[in-house]
Structure 1
C-alpha cells in the first residue's frame, strides 16, 4: 500500500510541473511541431544571397547583353577597302582596253650569214658601230618609226662569245626621231650563275631579260642567246604603226665576260 501511495504522489507532482519551471525556456518556442516547421521552411527566403553570387549574375547579364549587341551590329568593312577594290578593277579594265586596241604584231624576218669577217671589217670603219656590252649589262637600242620608211633592219656579230638578243615595240607616240642607246644593269638574282662559254643551241631562253610590264609594250622576238660569234645574225620587221622599236642586246647572264658587239640598224622602204 505504501508503494502505491508513493507512485501516485510522484505522478501528481510530475503533472503539476510546466515549462515555466525551467528558466530560459518558454512555451511559445514549442507551439509549432517539428513537422510543421519543416513544411513551412522556404530555403530561398531563409538563405541570404552572398556577394559572390550577385557578382556572378551581373557578369552573366552583361555578357548576354554584349553578345546580343554583337549579333545585331553587322561588321563594317575597313576604310578604304571598297575604294581599293574599285580602283584595281578600273585599272585592270583600262589595261585590257589598251591591249585590245593594239593590232597583233607579225613575227620578224630573220637570217644568218657566214660573212662574219666582212661585216666586222666594215663596221670598224663606222662610228658607234662597235661597242662593249659589259658583264651584267643590257644595251637597248631605241629605233623610232619614221614616215619615209616602211621597215627596220638590223645585223650584228660578236667576238669570241654569244649574246642575248630580243626585240620589243613601244606603241607610245613618237616624240623624238633619233636613234638612241640605253645601258642598264640587271637586278636578276640569277646573275650569280657563271656563264657557260662555248656554242649554245638556239632556243635557250635568256634568263637575264624579261618582258616589260608596260601596257604599251609588245613583244616581237623574245630574248634568246644567239651564237653571234659564229655567224652574222640579221633580220627586218615591217612597221606595225607609229612607235619605237627596242632592240635588246643582253649580257646580264654573264658574270665574268664583257662582249664586243658589232651592230648596225637601218631603215628600208
Structure 2
C-alpha cells in the first residue's frame, strides 16, 4: 500500500514539471530535434580563433609559389577534363575507286603530301553544325593520320590547310611497304606541348591505298579540329591524297 502511494506521488510531481523548469532547454528546441552538444560545450583545450586562422596559412610559401601551385593544379584538371572527350566514330569502305572518281571533280580535294611533310587541315566548329566528318584515300602507299582538337577560341570559320616539315632529329628510315603492324605509331606523331590541345586520334599509318577511311566526331564545344596527314616517315615517296571534310547537323 505504501509503495502504491509513493509511486502515485512521484507521478503527480513529474506531471507538474514543465520545460521551463530546466534552464537552457525550451519546447522549440525539442520540436526541432536534438540539440548539438558541441554548440554549448566549452572546450578548454581548443585554440582561439586567431590561432586557428594562423594555422591555415603556411608562412614558408610565398604568395607567388602558392599561385604557381594553383595554376598547375588548374592545368592538370583542365587536361584531365579534355581527355574525357568521346573518341571519334571511324569506319572503312571498299568504295575506293568511287571516292577517287568523285573527289577528282572537286577543287582542292586531290593534293600531294610530299616526302617528309605533314599536312594539317584546320577545321573550326561552326554554330550551324553539330559534328565534323571526313573521308580519305591515297594512291599506291599508306599515310599517317591523326586528329587533335584545339580548345582555343575560334577566330575564323574558314577551313585552312597548313604544310610543315618533320622536325624529328632522329635518323629517318625508309618506309616499309609491307603490312602495317597494329598499334604502330609513326615517328611523325609528335608529343603535343600546347595545353589547349586534346588528342582524339593519335597518328597511325593507315592502309588508305587499299580502302577508304572515314569518320565523324560530335563537337565537344568551341574550337578547331586538326586533321593531320603525316608523310614525315617517308624518305623517298610523295603521297597522292584524296580527301574531303564536311559538317553535319
Provide the alpha-carbon RMSD of the alignment. 2.1
Which residue in the other structure is 2:149 paired with?
Answer: 169
Higher mean C-alpha deviation, range 126-135 or range 94-103: 94-103
Which residue in the other structure is 2:162 paired with?
Answer: 182
Q: Could you say what secondary structure the match of 2:72 adopts?
A: helix
5 Å-filtered alignment, 1:109-258, equals: 109-190=89-170, 192-258=172-238
Q: TM-score, normalised by structure 1?
A: 0.65
Structure 1 unaligned segments of length 5 or more: list them.
1-81
Distance 1:189 1:83, change over 3 A: farther
Matches of 1:154 and 1:183, distance apart in 2: 19
Q: Could you say what secondary structure the match of 1:192 adopts?
A: coil
Deviation at 1:103, TM superposition (A): 7.0
Deviation at 1:191, TM superposition (A): 5.1
May I ask how many residue pairs the two structures share in their alignment?
Answer: 188
5 Å-filtered alignment, 1:84-99, equals: 89=69, 92-99=72-79
Report Cα offsets for 1:143-184 as digits up to 9, x if no partner.
000111110000000000000000000111111000000111
Report Cα offsets for 1:50-95 as digits up to 9, x if no partner.
xxxxxxxxxxxxxxxxxxxxxxxxxxxxxxxx99977864653342
Deviation at 1:190, TM superposition (A): 3.7
Structure 2 unaligned segments of length 5 or more: list them.
1-61
Q: TM-score, normalised by structure 2?
A: 0.70
Matches of 2:109 and 2:210, distance apart in 1: 18
Distance 1:104 1:131, change over 3 A: same
Matches of 2:63 and 2:141, distance apart in 1: 53
**Greater C-alpha Rg:** 1
Which residue in the other structure is 2:88 paired with?
Answer: 108
Deviation at 1:215, TM superposition (A): 0.6
